[in-house]
Every structure is written in structure tokens, then in C-alpha cells.
Amino acid sequence: MDIAIDLGSDRTRVFIENKGKVLDEASVVTYDIDTGEIYSVGDKAYAMIGKTPVGVKAVHPLDSGVIAESDLVEDMVSILLKEVCSAKVVMPRVVTAIPCNVTEVEKRAVVNAVSSFGVRRVYLIESPKAAAMGCGIDITGPHGVMIADIGSGTADIAVLSLGGISISKSIKHAGCAMDEEIIKYIRKQYNLIIGTNMAESCKKAVGCVKVPAEPKTFRVKGRDAVNGLPRFIEVGSEEIKNAIEEIAMEIVNAIKDVLEKTPPELIGDIYTDGIILTGGLAKLTGFAKLVSEATKLRVRVHKSAEDCVIMGCGKAIGYIGETEKLQSSGISPLLAAF
């Protein structure tokens, strides 16, 4: 039985062959600073961010789609996999997604983290490939497909054809960077200090890049920067739009850059089919419309945008056999095994 893992900056997802997606937890670890003892991982650890006592720290060990603290990621992966993998799963083969344009060192860090669970072999696949496969697209044919996988840590934009990437670009400013901008805006505008969890909740509730016909408001709670007392304010959609639109435009400009460098024959396919958006941030209000206006192309968001990568990794398990053949005649989207 083989498994697939999507190690995201915000969420870690696991897919088991013949079972489907079996785990979706926050990529957070809570540990003792002095002893290194792990207290909790996943959603339980996420609930502790900003609420831990002295000597205990809750962190996201992955940053901008790559591993920042390897030991913590190894512990997190081992603990989460033990929750969903029965004792009968011995030395499985694993497919895991990585951002585009990562270095060999970053690839090795991912392989080492996954291998800590005790696996037979690790296969890597770039996130846009996995996302496209998760959308049900056949990427092995001679047909151009443009996909933008926009998550918390990175925005990966790629044009795919014949099972490979023709042109790609990766932006390390996405959902998490928007959270930081919301924190800065609230502090500057209202003298209110808030945490990352509150900023993320605000983004999900009223975040947008096009103000909706019926603007929403959200109650932001934090600490007054002047007197230190608890306080709350009401913020609206337009305010949050002003805080995050610069990062949104950076992603849009990256999509335009990829289009400008795409070979003419593939551009024709993209003109016909449009652009596909996946990842949690793809559902941000008005984002698809913003991309469409900038590129003059049809843009669609997959209905299960946040799960496309892990579902694609699950489908990529079927290519492991081809990849392991020394002289495979087929096209495999998987990178070399480690």
C-alpha cells in the first residue's frame, strides 16, 4: 500500500491508496524549548499558537513551501502518519509534492523528512503537476495546460505539456504574506495588535480583491498598542482589500510573466481552455475575476481547489510502476526516486 503526502506551509494532507484522503491537519508543532519534547501537532497545535506558556513554543516548521526546521517536520510527519497508517503498512512508497524551482538541498530536506517515518522510496512531483492531475486533467498529452496553484506559502504557476513543465514561476508571497499584511494594517490604522490566527480568520471572512456587492464586516480582537488592554474593532471588506491587493497583484503579474514566455503553440491551447486556479487562496473573493481581467482569458477555480494537490499526488501513485522501470516507454509526471 502506497501513500501520498502534501506538505504545505499551512496544512499537511495524506492520501492512502484505495482509501483516499485520510488526513488534513495544520502544519504546526508545539514543543518544549528546553527539552525539545513534542507536545502536540496538527490542529491541536494550531489552536495553541499565541497561547502557549513560558518555555513552550508553537511554530509552523515549513515556510514559503520549503522546510525551515527539519527536525520538527520529521517529528510532525512521523506523528501524523502513525495516526492514519495501520501497523500493516510496512515500508510504503511515498509520493510527495514540492514547489516549482526548489533547490537540490530543499528537495533533499523534503525526502529526509518523509523518510523519517520509515519508507521504501520517495517520489517527488511538482505542485502544479499534481494540482492539474487532481483537477482530472491528462497532462501527458501534447496539449498546453496552464495552472496556478496558490497556497499559503507559495504561488506556483506553470504551463504543462507531455507530462512535464514547459515554463514555470514560483512566488514566495501568498496566503501567509497576506496575513502579515493584515496584521500590519490593523496595527497602523487602529493601534491594535493581533495574532496570525486572528489575521487568517479575518482574511477568510472578509478578504477580497474585488469588493462584493454586499460588503461584509468582521470583528477583530486584540490588544491595544497604547494601553495594553483588550479591544475589538469592526473591519470591512474594502479595508482588507487595500491591505492585501499588492500581494494579489504580484501573483497576477507572475501569471502574466509566465504567459509572455510560453511557446506560441501552447499559448493557443491556453487561449482555448483558459487558466485553472487551485489552492486555498484561489477562492479569495474576486481573485479569479482579477486574473481574467489582467490576462483577457477565461479563468476557473476548481470546486475542491484546496484538495487538488493531494488528490493529484494520490493519482500519481499509479505512475510509480512506470517510473521504476529502467526503460519505461510511457511518460511519467514523477521526478526521480530517492
Is residue 88 pLDDT above 60, yes or no?
Answer: no
Q: Are residues 165 and 292 in the same domain?
A: yes
Number of domains comprising the chain: 2
- Is 67:73 a contact under the CB 8 Å cutoff? yes
Q: Are residues 16 and 118 in the same domain?
A: yes
Q: Are residues 126 and 250 in the same domain?
A: no
Q: Are residues 315 and 294 in the same domain?
A: no
CA distance 41 to 27: 7
Is residue 337 pLDDT above 80, yes or no?
Answer: no
Span 239-272, pLDDT tens digits: 999 999 999 999 999 999 999 999 999 999 999 9
Q: Are residues 274 and 168 in the same domain?
A: yes
- pLDDT-derived band at 103, boundaries 50, 70, 90: confident
DSSP annotation of 48: T
**Is 332 within a domain?**
no
Task: Write down the mean pLDDT value for the chain.
Answer: 90
Residue 147's nearest CA partner among 130, 124, 171, 125 is 130
**Is 274 within a domain?**
yes
Q: Are residues 15 and 163 in the same domain?
A: no
Q: Are residues 147 and 279 in the same domain?
A: yes
Q: Are residues 24 and 125 in the same domain?
A: yes
Q: Are residues 11 and 49 in the same domain?
A: yes
C-alpha cell at 190: 487602529
DSSP-based three-state secondary structure for 101: coil
Q: Are residues 253 and 106 in the same domain?
A: no
C-alpha cell at 234: 469592526
Distance, CA of 162 to chain centre:
24
**Is 11 within a domain?**
yes
Span 219-238, pLDDT tens digits: 999 999 999 999 999 999 99
**Is 195 within a domain?**
yes
Q: DSSP E strands: which ranges in the chain?
A: 3-7, 11-16, 20-26, 29-32, 38-41, 56-59, 62-63, 66-67, 93-98, 121-126, 145-150, 155-161, 164-171, 192-193, 217-224, 230-236, 275-278, 299-301
**Is 333 within a domain?**
no
DSSP string, 23-40: EEEES-EEEETTT--EEE
Grid cell 487562496 in the structure block, residue: 281
Tell me the residue range of the domain where 224 lies.
136-301
Is residue 331 pLDDT above 80, yes or no?
Answer: no
Distance, CA of 308 to chain centre:
10
Length of the chain: 338
Is residue 322 pLDDT above 80, yes or no?
Answer: no
Give the pLDDT mean for 11-29. 92
- Is 73:31 a contact under the CB 8 Å cutoff? no
CATH code: domain of residue 320? 3.30.420.40
**Is 264 within a domain?**
yes
**Is 250 within a domain?**
yes
Say what the pTM is.
Answer: 0.90
Give the pLDDT mean for 315-331. 69
- Is 151:10 a contact under the CB 8 Å cutoff? yes
**Is 337 within a domain?**
no
Q: Are residues 167 and 220 in the same domain?
A: yes
Q: Are residues 173 and 198 in the same domain?
A: yes
